[in-house]
Amino acid sequence: MDRRKFFKKGTLLAAGGALLGNPISGLATTMEYDLSAKGKRAKNIIFMVSDGMSTGTLALSDHFQNHILGHRSVWMSAYIDNKVTRGLMETSSASSIVTDSSAGSSSFGGGVRVPNGSLNVGANGEKYLPIWQKMKRKGKKIGVVTTVTATHATPAGFNVNNNSRYAEPQIAIDYLNLGLDVVMGGGDEFFNGDKREDKKDLYKAFAEKGYAIAKNSSELKKTGKNQPILGIFNEGALPYQLDRENTPELKANIPSLAEMAKKAIEHLNTGKEGFALQIESGKVDWAAHANDLGGLLFEQIQFDEALKVALEFAEKDGETLVIFTTDHGNANPGLIYGKNADKDFETVAKYKYTNEWILNQIDNSFSPNAVRDLVQANLGFEITSSEAHKILGYYSNIQKEEQGLYNYKHLPYEGFANMQKKHSSVGWISMDHSSDHVEVAAFGPGKELLKPFVKNTDLHYLMLQAAQIENKF
């Protein structure tokens, strides 16, 4: 190929997008979707999303596991062992170069970019059939597993059409009507008749359709393989993995992502036509919004443990395509150069709880010394008296402000993260989504379809082609 023509073509594509009023239309080509050249069919598909995972998050997780726990991350081991096809993915939505989770998931789910905030509904009301519905119509069992609310943007994007990602009470009803075979995560408020505005008892409605209802780890373990499962384990999102590990009651009652993934696969694998399962570590994104280092690292490690479950199953099964990626970057954390960077980062091993947990313990009754003691006991480093006074100022409304998207109690996430940076050598560029080109990898039949650089929408058609399903619905 003539090098000058190659670059000229790329420039014209980008310029063409701008001229048409769509800043992202020309940034990547569309995947070729061709069933004529059939390879081995993927009977099952497991699509895994570490929501909001910047490449810096992936690196920090691998550094922590490699240098402190003594082994590489599962994600990086798959690269090192050359077991996967790997690419970079552009994550834009129809309305912005920077996507939100609903538009990001809809790109995978509907195969078309939609505006931020929407679930498989275009700017003019066009509805795009979500991929798990396509799989269901072909006889496959379908399911979603997440660490946030089961009706949140990422799981919903594979299943429903709605103008708003925030219509979670309706999305819960949609799951019932669509007949998802496995639904696991948080969000009791969207299924519990005592908490829903319309007073509909969706637990009862699911049970009447034959679902096993699980509200804790013990009940989940008792579910059989021959019943669909609704597992809702908390109001709101599930607790952070770091907090769960160090709180006996939470560890006993709330399953980990890996435990939910294993149970979901066991149930779904009973279908004659195979299955399609989405697994999401949703609180990677929440921790990034909060610049919560302990939360971020251990949520990414929790994703890694679930990835291990999926890859081990797929390797043994031989008929399962596993795709693992993220929907977008968030906050772009990184270990910053300095003579003490290694030593500082090792202090994360002393963390017992997340910043969220620690800041939730503080109230106006605390003295500065009590704040200092709380931080020392649970994060292993000392803050100054001045810093303790500054933290307490947020609780007396002196400097109360919004810090982080999922910060419902207006806790001083950003201020505390800036103090923490001196001790961890980890910095952040923001508290919000970013436009990173992100990692995507594939294992199993169909992995050869993944190209070095793809659009997020390409993964929709990759899954259909790997499963050898014609896109006629």
Closest CA to 100 of 154, 172, 58, 151: 154
Question: Which two three-digit tokens encode residue 67?
Answer: 């240098």
Residues linked to residue 442 through DSSP beta bridges, in sequence order: 85, 323
**Catalytic residue (one of 61, 92, 95, 101):** 101
Closest CA to 83 of 311, 383, 424: 311
Q: What is the dihedral sign for C-alpha 227, 232, 238, 244?
A: negative
- Annotated binding-site positions: 51, 152, 154, 280, 285, 289, 327-328, 433
Q: Cα 37 vs. chain centroid, distance in angstroms?
A: 33
- Annotated binding-site positions for Zn(2+): 51, 285, 289, 327-328, 433
Helix 101-110 vs helix 458-466: angle between axes, to the nearest 10 degrees? 40
| Three-state DSSP state, 439 | strand
Question: Which two three-digit tokens encode residue 11?
Answer: 């420039």
Closest CA to 182 of 291, 87, 255, 81: 255
* Residues shown for the chain: 473
Q: Is residue 101 annotated as a catalytic residue, yes or no?
A: yes
Q: Which single residue is written with the structure tokens 């990626």? A: 325
The amino acid at residue 41 is R
Question: Which two three-digit tokens encode residue 319?
Answer: 């008929």
Burial (CB < 10 A; 0-12, 13-18, 19+), residue 334, is middle
- Annotated binding-site positions for Mg(2+): 51, 152, 154, 280
Distance CA 328, CA 11 (A): 24
The amino acid at residue 133 is Q
- Tell me the catalytic residues: 101
